[in-house]
Amino acid sequence: MRLHEIARHLHANAPETDPEITGIASLDTAGRQDLSFVTDARRAPEAARCPAAALLVGEDFPALPAGGPALLRVPSPALAVAAAVSLLRPPWRPEPGVDPSARIHPSARLGVRCHVGAYAVIGADCVLGDDVVLHPHVVLYPNVRAGNRLLAHAHAVIREGTQLGDDVILQPGVVLGGDGFGFATDAQHHHVKIPQVGHVVIGDQVEIQANSCVDRASLEATVIGRGTKVDNLTQIGHNCRLGEDVLICAQVGLAGSTNIEDQALLAGQVGVAGHCTVGRGAIITAQSGTHGDLAAGKMFSGSPAFEHRQWLRATAVFARLGDLQRELRELRAALATRASG
Neighbouring residues of 273: CB distance < 8 A, sequence distance ≥ 6: 255, 258, 289, 290, 291
Residue of 115, 135, 153, 238 marked catalytic = 238
CA-to-CA separations, 143 to 106, 126, 178, 247, 251, in angstroms, rounded: 12, 4, 15, 28, 29
**Spacing of C-alpha 174 from chain mean position:** 13
Region near a copy of itself per CB under 8 A, out of 8-16, 40-48, 59-67, 322-330: 322-330
Query: Can you tell me which of 78, 109, 112, 297 binds a copy of itself, judged by CB under 8 A?
Result: 78
The partner residues of 294 in beta bridges, in order of sequence, read 278
Q: Are 151 and 168 in contact (CB under 8 A)?
A: yes
Do you find a cis peptide bond into 77, omega within 30 degrees of 0? no
Residues 199-238: x where in contact with a copy of itself by CB under 8 A, - otherwise, as a string: ------x-x-xxx-x-x--xxx------x-x-xxx-x-x-
Which residues from 95-124 bind a copy of itself, rule CB under 8 A?
99, 101, 103, 117-119, 121
Report the C-alpha gap between 40 and 47 in whole angstroms: 10
Among 9, 137, 275, 308, binds a copy of itself (CB under 8 A): 137
Least distance (Å) between residue 231 CB and a copy of itself: 4
Answer for which of 57, 201, 242, 255 binds a copy of itself (CB under 8 A) is 255
Helix-then-strand count for the chain, H and E: 5, 36
The half-sphere exposure of 238 on its side-chain side, counting CA atoms within 13 A, is 18
Q: Which of residues 146-205 bind a copy of itself (CB under 8 A)?
A: 153-155, 157, 159-160, 169, 171-173, 175, 178-179, 181, 183-186, 189-197, 205
Please state, in angstroms and rounded to a whole number, the distance separating the CA atoms of residues 135 and 270. Answer: 31
Site size toward a copy of itself, by CB under 8 A: 116
Residue 9 near a copy of itself by CB under 8 A: no
Buried b (16+ CB within 10 A) or exposed e, 236-269: bbbbbbbbbbbbbbbbbbbbbbbbbbbbbbbbbb
44 binds a copy of itself (CB under 8 A): no
Is 190 catalytic? The answer is no
Nearer Cβ to a copy of itself (148/251):
251
Among 56, 57, 81, 200, binds a copy of itself (CB under 8 A): 81
Which of the stretches 12-20, 52-60, 65-73, 285-293 binds a copy of itself when contact is defined by CB under 8 A?
Answer: 285-293
Question: Mind telling me the catalytic residues?
Answer: 238
